[in-house]
């Protein structure tokens, strides 16, 4: 979807990411057989690595912050 929002052709994104257009189409269709590295290359070529990293940080959610606080010691001696 981001590729279409940025009005980029599949060949452009694939070339930037160093993957084939076939692999890009697999990523876009949610094929679980693609490598994490290929997915991250595409995210990087679209400038989305920071957004992706922020979305994976558990401290950016209410539940993550609540649970992180539970595991911290109440008092440090």
pLDDT in tens, 57-73: 888 888 887 887 666 66
Tokens for 8? 């980029």
Q: What is the pLDDT, as a whole number, of residue 72?
A: 61
Instruction: Convert the pLDDT of each residue in 43-59 to its tens digit.
Output: 999 999 998 888 888 88
Give the residue extent of every domain in the chain.
2-71
- Topology of 2-71 in CATH? 434 Repressor (Amino-terminal Domain) (1.10.260)
Q: Buried b / exposed e across 38-74, counting CB within 10 Å, b at 16+?
A: bbebbbebbeeeeeeeeeeeeeeeeeeeeeeeeeeee
Tokens for 70? 């539970």
């Amino acid at each position: 979807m981001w590729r279409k929002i940025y009005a980029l052709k599949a060949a452009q994104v694939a070339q930037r990411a160093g993957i084939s257009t076939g692999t890009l189409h697999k990523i876009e269709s949610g094929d679980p057989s693609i490598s994490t590295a290929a997915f991250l290359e595409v995210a990087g070529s679209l400038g989305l690595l920071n957004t992706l990293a922020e979305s994976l940080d558990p401290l950016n959610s209410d539940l993550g912050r609540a649970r992180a606080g539970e595991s911290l010691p109440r008092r440090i001696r």
